[in-house]
Amino acid sequence: MNLPHMIPYAEPYYFLMLGFALAPIIFSLLFFQKRLTIYQAVVTCFFLFISFGGTYWQQGLALIGYVVWQSILVWCYFTYRKKSNQGIWFYLAVVLAILPLVITKITPFVLSGKESLFIFLGISYLTFKSVQMIMEIRDGMIKTYHPYRYIQFLLFFPTISSGPIDRYRRFEKDQVQPPTKERYLELLEKGVHHLFMGFLYKFIIGYYLGQVLLPIVSKGALAHGGISWSLLGYMYVYSLYLFFDFAGYSFFAVGTSYLMGYDTPINFNKPFLAWNIKEFWNRWHMSLSFWFRDYVYMRLMFFLMKKKWFKSKIVTSNIGYFALFLLMGVWHGLTWYYILYGIYHATLICLTDAWIRYKKKRKKKLPSNRFTHAFSVFMTFQAVCVSLLIFSGFLNQLFFK
């Protein structure tokens, strides 16, 4: 039997196999509150094989090499950290952890679009997990290192391709302590609900937006050229499509995790109802934004404040925002529109902070009611849609090709 290559959660046959594969895990957790460790490892290998096998065998080899590299690297740093804590070895470990990702990002830019041999689906999210592990070992938050648990954490197949990005200590707690029957019944209910929401978001709303409406407005915008009503339509349709498609995937990933007894964090929380851009990032791709906040922005701020490079805390904060969002833009790709996307969001956040400071000083003079809240939500939605239009790369196609 030749198993075809399958993108996770992309077709009905994948869900059929997923249901059969998870049935014993659900049964064991529901009636015995035990994990089928060996069986779960077999299921993981099977789904990794259909995701990275077949014509994509090179990605599979890259994944294996990557996991070996990160496992040895984390073990070496953990062994060193038990004896000493010099910064140079910590920074070296972080650089070596992100090196495979850097190579995959730079290669297309250097070699005129040619992909790196090291690339595989989900390398960014695995890298975030690896860097997180090294940083928490440095901070003394992780006291023990179990290679098998760490590999399970990296290769947790429901979330491997596009997140959500879990935290090792939370994941390990679920590994060693299966949920009680009452708790698992809650996870089971939530898991089924998330799966159905995923079908609604990705295969109904997302499909209509992406396969029906988006080609129409895209064709109209290209035909008119420049700024047009069709371009405005493209901006809104693409923004909604991106949300429903990605949120639908996240519902599948989180729902599958729940069925397996893992309380994986959610990724979206009604982001288009945010009343400012900072609140938007607390609701949009939450595991990624929280990762950048905790492991990049906060550490950068601590470093800048400790070194006292800037006298003003406001300037320091703004420098941190621009560094953070430029990094996030470059992470998406070395193109002008990803970099502009990062600069745009950094600028909006700095302006939002300035507005919040202004409001605090004039709290009694400025109205605050349902109308102002609704107006804030409306304006934030417009600002976000403009950013997603930049992110889409459509402007590059419209004006420069």
Q: Which residues are part of the catalytic machinery?
A: 332
For the record, the structure tokens of 11 come out as 């077709």
- Sign, Cα dihedral of 129, 135, 137, 141: negative
- Quote the CA–CA distance of 167 and 174 in Å, as a whole number: 11
| 59 and 121 Cβ atoms separated by less than 8 Å | yes
Q: Residue 164, preceding bond cis, omega within 30 degrees?
A: yes
Residue 168 phi, psi (nearest 5): -60, -45
- Quote the CA–CA distance of 39 and 277 in Å, as a whole number: 44
Q: Is 262 left (phi over 0), alpha (psi -120 to 50) or beta?
A: beta
Residue 325's nearest CA partner among 308, 300, 360, 362 is 300
Q: Of all helices (H) and strands (E), which one includes residue 57?
A: helix 57-81
- Quote the CA–CA distance of 162 and 167 in Å, as a whole number: 15
Residue 353's nearest CA partner among 314, 296, 394 is 314
Written as one string, the DSSP assignment of 79-133 is: HHHTT---HHHHHHHHHHHHHHHHHHHHHHHHTTTPPPTT--TTHHHHHHHHHHH
